[in-house]
Amino acid sequence: MAGKVISTGIRYTKLPESYIRPVNDRPNFSPVSECNDVPVINIGAGDRRLISKQIGDACRDYGFFQVVNHGVPDEVVKKMEKVGGEFFRLPVEEKMKLYSEDPAKTMRLSTSFNVQKEQVHNWRDYLRLHCYPLDQYSPEWPTNPSYFKEYVGNYCTAVRELGMRILEFISESLGLEKERLISILGEQGQHMAINHYPVCPEPELTYGLPGHTDPNALTILLQDTLVSGLQVLKDGKWVAIKPYPNAFVINIGDQLEALSNGEYKSVWHRAVVNSDQPRMSIASFLCPCNDSVLSAPDELIKDGSKRVFKDYTYTEYYKKFWSRNLDQEHCLEFFKNQQ
């Protein structure tokens, strides 16, 4: 079992065969540009209409943006980063007590993406937690480091609030009532992935995460402040999103693409690794209530336009998502209406 995670503390000198991608599917197969223009939006001050317009433009053009002045206290973020780092530095035997390859588990340490389905593995370990309702799930969280539950719990609460505010802005940006999307999404679940990408001996041959879209509604990503690795597909080219101080990276997941009737895109993104420094990223996922029906609101279906997607529940979607490999076609394709 212990051979399965890669955060063992031992430095690899050679990339194991099972991680090597085919030549036409490697990080540098196509040129990557440094992106300076994923919008950075100040959501803590100014005119509400202007902020939602900026967010709407970013959702349409990039599917990604960064937010600053976001209201999550600096101390809460710092503590989250500290405990995430410490967790992955624990002895491998200690971490392996939490190991599982079953996506249905609500708390697990795992590696790569979907070990049982994929052909090539990815240079990533991750701790995945369900976070809402907190008092239901935090009892099963790790107890080592001793302050894990406290720090992570505070972070989850603050990030959820931020996510809800952003959903309100997104709703308004589509011309909907502020609460409209939140009410369709129902009592949202919240998951977290603490991603750890160890130093990789041959980073040009593999990914931390291959290109994928997020299956949930909204993702709030805390990037490593020092080490970059996130890349987004924009107009057919991969662009790197450099860490921006005190910002969160926000992206539209598949469910917001569906609810916007395809107007906002859940875009492909990936994580690359490097040979100098480990990288951590902390992704928080807001997920629709399992039995809410993901159907674009009537207000958006006008002027003879049609619903791009079928009506489906999040349970149906999530099942489909995890039954596939990550780097296949967009999962939303399976839910499209015939035009």
Residue 92: CB minimum distance to ligand OGA, A = 21
Q: In the complex, which residues of this chain contact ligand OGA (CB under 6 A)?
A: 193, 195, 209, 214, 221, 229-230, 269, 271, 281, 283
User: 266, 253 in Cβ contact below 8 A?
Assistant: yes
For residues 60-75, b (16+ Cβ closer than 10 Å) or e, as one string? ebbbbbbbeebebeee
Residue 268: CB minimum distance to ligand OGA, A = 10
Q: In Å, how far are 75, 164, 178, 307 from 167, measured between CA atoms? A: 24, 5, 8, 21
DSSP 293: B
Residue 3: CB minimum distance to ligand OGA, A = 23
Cβ distance to ligand OGA smaller for residue 221 or 256 = 221
Residue 209: CB minimum distance to ligand OGA, A = 5
Pick left, alpha or beta for residue 236 (phi over 0 → left; psi -120 to 50 → alpha; otherwise beta).
left
Helix (H) or strand (E) holding 219: strand 218-223
Helix (H, G, I), strand (E, B) or coil at 269: strand
Helix 74-88 and helix 148-173: axis angle, to 10°? 120
Cβ distance to ligand OGA smaller for residue 98 or 193 = 193
Q: For residues 73-132, which are near Ni ion according to CB under 5 A? A: none
Nearest residue to 182 (alpha-carbon basis) of 163, 202, 210: 163
Among Ni ion, ligand OGA, none, residue 231 binds (CB under 5-8 Å by kind)? none
Among Ni ion, ligand OGA, none, residue 80 binds (CB under 5-8 Å by kind)? none
Q: Which stretch binds Ni ion (CB under 5 A): 99-107, 209-217, 257-265, 289-297?
A: 209-217
Among ligand OGA, Ni ion, none, residue 195 binds (CB under 5-8 Å by kind)? ligand OGA
Residue nearest to ligand OGA (CB): 281
Pick from 125, 214, 224, 327 the residue near Ni ion by CB under 5 A.
Answer: 214
Angle, CA of 81, 43 and 236, to the nearest 5°: 80
Residue 11: CB minimum distance to ligand OGA, A = 21
Task: Give the interface with Ni ion as residue ranges (CB under 5 A).
Answer: 214
